[in-house]
Structure 1
Amino acid sequence: MEENQQQISQDSNQQENNQNQQQEQQNEVHDQQQEQQQQEQQQQEQNQQEQQQLYQQEQEQQQQVSQEEQKQNLQLTQPQSQNKGNDTFHLDEFFEDDGFPINVAVTDPSIKEGVSKYILYCVKGEDKQGVFEVYRRFSDFYALRQALCTRWPGVFIPPIPPKKATGNFDAFFISERRQLFEKFLSELSKLKFLWYEQEFQTFLRSPHSDIEKALSNLPKFYYEDTINKYQNVFRSLQGKILSQELDEKIQSFTLFLKKIKDQLIKFKDQMKVLMNSRQMYDVEFDKFISFLLPQYELTCLKEYVGNIVEGKFVFAEQTEPKINNLLQELRDMTYGSKLKELYLSIKQEIYEIEAFIEAVGYVTIYENNRKTEESKVKTHEKELAKAESGKKSLFSNKSSEQKVQEQNMKIEFHQSMLDKVNQILDLIKVITGYISVEKFKKAELWSYVLENDNLTSFEITK
């Protein structure tokens, strides 16, 4: 009897414990659900605030002009006929001369010590803002070009030499870079809409040593800013036609450049071998002029004349002006080899092709941006349809009216972004097709060699 009572007591205690555990588990689940709901609500509120901020920010940037009025200002419309009269474009109309020439030079490269060695270049000259003289290193040139590419999407920005591993400070490398930097600035001086913009003037006249930081502190550019800027700078392109033919022109020329780039790389490699061979020849030729020829003269005179009279040596004492001039011409012809000029021209050509392909690449970038915005618009349109139908979400406590308002706001925002992306994409195509392609054809190596009759100056014997 006593054992039965003990068993009953134990069963009762066990049942009570089980009930307590179940209650604790239920309380824990309830607490977790409440915490999850609070987190979801906070996240939704945060997302809504961020979306509203983005929308307000973009609204502040855009002008009170409708999409139809903007496109009318751009006058970039699909062709109604096959008339190609509007396709005619004169580059001179774009590269207007303001009557004030720009002079710029890169001089006096010097090796400096810091955390690591680097080369400092003097950039000096004069423009309509006045005289300038600053000292810049490779990272400054690089930061400038990156800023120009980012803030002027689709515009051809002249190239600079690529980054190299540290430690290359031989005379030829420094001289080559100086020439390429000078070429970069010279080409920019022809694009005065870039020269007098904030980016370049910061590089040219900023007193701060950290040019990269100074450029990053410039006001940020939004889609609306890019559209307004391009409408103003490229106003001579108004009325130009967007067509499939223009797209094909850009694509075919880009494909041509990629093919010619591969050939130029092979040409450059062969020129490097030839140039190194010529350099070895130059060293030996200098030994011949400076040491072997005078020594031969001394030996012969001692043998055949006997008594050597000072002042009578031609090569050893270099007293004869005509001979001296001849020897100097031989040295100049050797050390000033046109092979180096040709080699550098080929490298410059490769860099310019890469810069052109980089500029055209913004077409793909903005096409991807367009797809992204189109996808977002469609997604929010689906969400709007759900909200309007009164369907409820398990994870949202918002009313149908709130959901409709939120989705309409998101659709309006992304549709506005989509319109701007399309405008910039159209502008990039027109700028590339009517300006960059035509200008590029006239400024490259084949024009330099064939039109200026310089091919004969590159013969190996010189």
Structure 2
Amino acid sequence: GMETVEDITIEESKDSRSCLRICVTNPSIREDTLSKYVIYTVQGLDNQGDFERVRRYTDFVKLRMLLIENWPTCYVPPIPPKQVIGNFASQFIESRRKMLNHFVSKISELSYLYHAEEFQQFIRGPEDYEKATSLKQSICSIEPKFTSNFEEFNQEEVSDQRIQTIAGFEKFAKSNFVSLKEFKETVKTVKLQYEQFRYLMNGFSKKFTEVESQYLNYFGTVNIFTPLSAEAQENPFETLYEWIKFEIVDLKSMLQVVEHRYFLDNEKYKAECKVSEYNKRISKLQSGKSSIKQMLSTKSKEQNISSTEAKLAQKEKEIKAFSMVIRIALNRLGAYELPKFQEKKTKEYKTMMQQFSSLLQSEFQTFNHSAEESLKKSQS
């Protein structure tokens, strides 16, 4: 089975959690000559004091991409997907704000991401977050962050069980997307039809009451029909729909994190190819063979050898860094990130089902009450 999170002790640094508050508020539409866009205020307070920045949706996209690249295989919460039409409808803006708010609050729970330069620049840095593009890091800068933040995953080789956990999740997520998307469409239809049904039932209830009272007036029978309660209630299927919409996005973001390991493997392989290329070049130079490019070069043979050796040393350093990061990443994914994700999903699903079931129950109690009362009266 899967390792549980308890198997591994994780020190989530509590240093600033106690006084940490962060939220995305106050969305407003801005227009300049060429474009129209929505800005959001990101504000909060932590042990460094308070902060407030105005950010666009594209800044959030940029931030998330940077976190994924600079913290490979670490879970980064999702942001709402891009949408082309209906971007300025107030309902859309509000649901996007909610999800962006969820994004920053989840990051604030992951101290290594919260204190990372990419995120600090986002909440405290220049007005123009595009300037932060220089924050993309090389593997040699990523490796020391990994060894200092996740040293407990650096001790051992990656076990087969952990590899299986990772592969198992990947298989599950990919095969599940199709059915989740289909279910989302089903729920959407039911949700809309249900609104319609409610609307019709309200009209029906009013009409029935009218007809019955006219009927009674003439025949002198007793009032039997008990009208449906007209209280506005939350549509139970709305809860289900919101859950599944988020679920698809969240699974996608976890899959993106898990698949990032292929990118690391590939980059490491490229570095290894370079190493063998430099080694061949050095032995050619030493044996006195030289390419046309080197013949035309003003550098001496010794200079050519030493500059190639410097490149070789750099690539070897990168390969070491890749190996270290990949090992930590796979250990973290298999022993911590995925079990934690599984636990979170189970909890979220239970919460949603509680809401959904209790809404559905109170919904049908309304019908039940009307039917029971009417039945009693008709039998008396």
TM-score range, shorter chain: 0.7 to 0.9
Partner residue, 2:374:
none
Give SS of 2:294's match: coil
1:146 offset after TM fit, Å? 1.7
Distance (whole Å) between structure 2 residues aligned to residue 266 and residue 107 of structure 1: 33
Partner residue, 1:279:
195
2:88 matched to 1:169?
A: yes
Could you state the TM-score of these two structures normalised by the residue count of structure 2? Answer: 0.78
Pick the structure with greater CA Rg. Answer: 1
Give SS of 1:381's match: helix
Amino acid at match of 2:171: L
1:371 offset after TM fit, Å? 1.1
2:166 matched to 1:250?
A: yes
Distance (whole Å) between structure 2 residues aligned to residue 392 and residue 200 of structure 1: 49
Give SS of 1:411's match: helix
Partner residue, 1:76:
none
Amino acid at match of 1:106: V
Residues 452, 278 of structure 1: alpha-carbon distance in 2 compared, 3 angstrom cutoff:
closer
2:344 matched to 1:443?
A: yes
Distance (whole Å) between structure 2 residues aligned to residue 262 and residue 155 of structure 1: 25
Distance (whole Å) between structure 1 residues aligned to residue 362 and residue 6 of structure 2: 43
Partner residue, 2:69:
150
- 1:430 alignment partner, one of 323, 331, 343: 331
Identity %: 27
Amino acid at match of 2:11: F
Residues 122, 338 of structure 1: alpha-carbon distance in 2 compared, 3 angstrom cutoff:
farther
Distance (whole Å) between structure 2 residues aligned to residue 117 and residue 287 of structure 1: 42
2:18 matched to 1:100?
A: yes
- 1:183 alignment partner, one of 95, 102, 106: 102
1:157 offset after TM fit, Å? 0.5
Residues 278, 125 of structure 1: alpha-carbon distance in 2 compared, 3 angstrom cutoff:
farther
2:113 matched to 1:215?
A: no
- 1:362 alignment partner, one of 254, 260, 265: 260
Please say which of residues 151-160 and 417-426 is displaced more in the overlay. Answer: 417-426
**TM-superposition CA deviations, 1:97-148 (whole Å, max 9, x none):** 3351433333443434334433333434433233444443312221221221
Residues 265, 453 of structure 1: alpha-carbon distance in 2 compared, 3 angstrom cutoff:
closer
2:240 matched to 1:342?
A: yes
Q: Contact (CA 8 Å) 2:5, 2:336: kept in 1 or not?
A: no
Residues 457, 179 of structure 1: alpha-carbon distance in 2 compared, 3 angstrom cutoff:
farther
Partner residue, 1:17:
none
Give runs of aligned pairs for residues 372-387 of structure 1, distance below 5 A: 372-387=270-285
1:364 offset after TM fit, Å? 0.7
1:375 offset after TM fit, Å? 1.0
Structure 1 unaligned blocks of 5 or more: 1-85, 305-322
Distance (whole Å) between structure 1 residues aligned to residue 138 and residue 91 of structure 2: 43
Q: More relative contact order in 1 or in 2 (CA 8 Å, sep 6+)?
A: 2
1:170 offset after TM fit, Å? 3.2
Partner residue, 1:389:
287
Amino acid at match of 1:215: A
**TM-superposition CA deviations, 1:277-307 (whole Å, max 9, x none):** 2233455567779xx67x959x979x97xxx
Give SS of 1:136's match: strand
Count, aligned residues? 345
Q: Contact (CA 8 Å) 1:227, 1:423: kept in 2 or not?
A: yes
Distance (whole Å) between structure 1 residues aligned to residue 172 and residue 200 of structure 2: 42
1:345 offset after TM fit, Å? 1.2
Residues 337, 424 of structure 1: alpha-carbon distance in 2 compared, 3 angstrom cutoff:
same
1:374 offset after TM fit, Å? 1.1
